[in-house]
Amino acid sequence: MKMPGAERRGKGKVELMMTPMIDIVFNLVIFFLLMPSFEATEGYLPTNLPSTQGQQRNEMKKTDSFRIDLLHVEPWEGDNRSKVEIYVNKEGIADNHDLRAKLRLARQNLEAGGKDITKVPVLISPDMVVWHKHVVAAFDAAIDAGFKNIQFSVPK
C-alpha cells in the first residue's frame, strides 16, 4: 500500500531556504558586536565602599562631615514600604528636595570658610529595607551639591 504523495517524494529539487539562515546570522553578528563583554560593569556609583567601620569613624572626626541616614517608615507594609525618613547629622529632613538644598547650603558655607570641598566626607547610611531609589536620590543630592568624597556605610 502506497502512501499518498509518496511518488512525488525524491523527484524534486531539494532547496535550502537561505533567507531565515541569513537573518539569524545577521542577528548573531549584531548581538556580538553590541555586547563585546559579558562581565558586570561597575562605576555607576563611583564611591568608596567601607571595609570596616572603625576607619570611617576616625576619618569623620578629622574634618567636617555629613552623615545621611535613610530609615524605613514603620510599619513596613502597605503604603509605608516605599517611604523613607531622612536625617542629616541626626537632624530630620522632610524630603529629597530639602536634602539637596541643605547639602548645597553646607557646601557654600564650607567653601566660604576655606575648606576643600573634595575632602569633606559624606556618609550615606541606609537601613536594610530602604528602597534603592532613596539611596540613589541621596547620592545624587550629594553629587549635585558638589561633594566628591561620598561613602556608604554597612546597612544596619
What is the mean predicted confidence (pLDDT) over 50-56?
53
How far is Cα 88 from Cα 106, in angstroms, rounded to an integer?
11
| Cut 0.75: pTM above it | no
CA–CA separation, 125 and 118 (whole Å)? 20
The Cα 67–Cα 151 span in angstroms is 10
* pLDDT at residue number 56: 45
Give the pLDDT of residue 3: 59
Give the separation between CA 111 and CA 121, rounded to whole angstroms.
14
Q: Classify strands 121-126 and 149-152 as parallel, antiparallel or unpaired.
A: parallel
Mean pLDDT, to the nearest integer, of 133-144? 90
Name the β-bridge partners of 91: 88
Split at pLDDT 50, 70, 90, the class of 139 is very high
Distance CA 143, CA 147 (A): 5
User: Between 41 and 130, whose confidence is greater?
Assistant: 130
Residues found in the chain: 156
Alpha helices in 9-129 (DSSP H): 18-34, 53-62, 96-112
- CB 127, CB 71: distance < 8 Å: yes
* Domains and their CATH numbers in the chain: 53-152 (3.30.420.270)
What pLDDT shows up at residue 82?
74
* Residue-averaged pLDDT of the chain: 78
Per the structure block, which three cell numbers stand in for 94?
A: 522632610
Q: What is the pLDDT of residues 30-50, one digit of tens each?
A: 988 887 765 655 555 555 555
